[in-house]
Chain A
Amino acid sequence: MACDGASLSVRAGTIHALLGENGAGKTSLVNVLGGVYLPDAGEIRVHGAQRQFHSPADAIAAGIGMVHQEFRLVPTLTVAENIALGSAPRYLNMARINERVSRLASAYSLDADPTRPVWQLSVGERQRVEILKALWRDADVLVLDEPTAVLTPTEADDLALALRAMADRGRSVVYISHKLDEVLSVCDEATVLRGGVTVAQQLSLTGVERSDLAQMMVGEAAAETPRPPEQDSGEVVLALESVSALSDRGLPALRSVDLDVRSGEIVGVAGVSGNGQRELAEVVAGLRPLTSGTVRLLGDDVAGSSPKARSRSGLGYVPEDRLGVGLAPRMSVVDNSVMRSYPAMRRGVMLDLRRCEDFCKQLVDRFGVRVGRMHDHASALSGGNLQRLLLGRELSGEPRILVAAQPTRGLDVAGISAIQEQIVAQRNAGVGVLLVSEDLDELLALSDRLVVMYEGRIAARLDPRTATRAEVGAKMAGSGA
């Protein structure tokens, strides 16, 4: 059960935060509000009148506009066509619709060209189209599910301004997030969910501290990540020598990178997204061919050896794309858990399903994955649980080298610390870890050594014990190379 007696009440003209960890029931509650799920019990009131939503259309008619994390836009249609879809006049006069869209956009400073097809737009622009879609239908309540997860900082600031403009005109905004700083700066009031239950309702955010909110969300004080104890590193387990590789678009993504990882240390890789970190992880995993250079795992040149061979020789890989590359969404939790170790669960030519289930059960228990049933699709798990499952599977092979790309991105507080603990435990046990992350605090806290990537090169090698955020940030921006 995702929600058990959760409540949410939002006043007109306010920006209301809906806070909670992954799996706390935020998305489920909002899907009830949007008419996607039918509630088993409870009621919805809009402007005091009780309403029943049997479909998304009912929710829209009641004035509730949803902006989901995955945008509901048709890429081949224009901005205006997307906005008008669902509430267009019987005969379309596109010139008139375009003009009305332009006017609406400028009224809320949501810059958008109505005639451009959506596939040409950036993520931030697409989000504006989603918001315009709701405003077009005169939504009184706008629900945004983790709106800034995909935005650049500037885009996020612009969004905050637009939302404030809506609230000032008497509309309400429900802002779902687990980024506490952002919630404190953008929102007026908050509702906090924990385990499907409301723990704080219509909480005014004036004078509230970040740590108070964090405590409500996790139920206990969230500790700052402590640095792992110093330890001597061992022999080199992973070595890259003047490695170059191309991006998906065929452009140079890695330019002559030299890097080594020793056993028992975490080497952090910092960088603004798109500066070669993803390609670096893929080159090590064997998913991307080199154009020059060598990669050595435990001293052996692995040029031309498959990802499977690398995994057998002791490489664990947690890819950035959890639910595409890391796990198969339409396969069960059991199937996903044994993807690496199934050869050991054979009985003749068949798989021993009982042993697969036992293996999965152990893994789930050991890594604290919260699953409904083990035979559910992996796609039914929340982000944090997906990552626990993925990391658990990679660690089940007892790797000597672990490459983890963005392992904590998008996770809630509890999820982040669980994943970080596991990574540190591996390092303490003598595994060499290459940790790619965009979270500077995480890198500074966990790494034994830190490299900064810029335009496919290693722009700086820093000591995370002494480096400051500002210093790393400057290197990430390419200055003082």
Chain B
Amino acid sequence: MLSKIVKSGLTRRTFLQSTAAAAAASSLPRMALAQDKVIKIGFLAPLTGAVAAWGKPGLDGCEIWAERVNAAGGIKLSDGNYMVEFVGYDNEYDPAKARTGATKLIREDGVSFIMMLGGDTWPGVQPVADKTGMLFSTLLPSDLSPDTTTLIAPAEVHPIYNVTGVEWLAENKPELKTAVMCAQDDALGLPSVATYLAAFEAAGIEMLDEPLLFDPATTDFAPVVTKLIAGNPDIVCLDTCYSDYVHPIAEQLFQQGFKGQIISCTADFYDQMISKTSEEFMEGFVFQFPDFDDPALNADNINFSDPNGFYAEFNKRFPGQWGAVSWEYASIMDLWKAAAEKAGSAEPDAVITAMKDGQGKHAFGDADWWGEELFGINNALVGDWPVVAIEGGKATIKEFRNIPAWYEKHGDLLVKHMQAYDQMWNQRG
């Protein structure tokens, strides 16, 4: 009987309204004490385990973002100002735990929006998203498909931006002619492999061997690196390896005497890599994620608010913890806040409509909603992306490059390699 009542009345809107009301009711005493209306935002990402480096620094960044926004009066909706509060749930990069976390955040905490890392965890959450209509964000647009209408990728178009690093290398170091690549054999590594292959082909750089895919459980990288550099390549590409792999691989490259160019999607905690190798060895290491004290981020077209101040505050509170995702979730919140204020509401339907109305203010400049050809849906915000190189022991932005411009010229190559690795939206699952 009970289930009949629940079932008959369970539309997306009533579901969200009732859970929000229940959550609001449960937090009444605290709200009354604080004299503030509160909007809760869910943070559903790995906070422990091997992938925690792409979750935990993001939550830390969000806490700084929330303090800044709250100090400035909060989020201004049609019925008044709201303070922002983040509710975290450690999904341990496990789809079952991600499902539990999504259920808790929506049905118990009454959040208005949930940010995720995505990847392996998204398919566990998708039925919850479908049922509730909750708006989710991912850092991995490879989660997008025509079915994921309430999933957006507004911060990074992993792994497509990796093409900018290779393109920059080809133009600035034309003497580099050959490359090899290694990656962990998982949902994060494979689309990135396809992207780098397309980028190298577009740049006229020859792959000496097939990409070397290692198991995510690998701990000894000496044989991996030995095999990788056996052909004496000009470039070693570390794909989108987790920092737990990038560090030991870089160490092995150093110990085995590699003198060539290294390119990687990320170089989280690169200061530790320098201390384990040498400043000379790491000089010129190319990757895609800047430190936010970089002067290039003070340009007028950058939409991230006070990047230098944000970076200083982050490092003050979490010394040595700055990583690829430290700013990304906060930049998603900038977009969400702007859309909610434009819509005058935190309702997921209203926010996504306002968000996708025209160009989006991406952290690195205004960008377009894009991706139908690759992802089957235009829910990825794509524009410029920085190419970063380590110079004198410090990450330095070398240039911003436009991703859609690259895709216009070489999109067929990307589609070809994505298809070869079964990574197109209609090939997945």
Do these two chains really belong together in a complex? no
Give residues in B with beta carbon < 8 Å to A: none
Residues of A bordering B, CB below 8 Å:
none
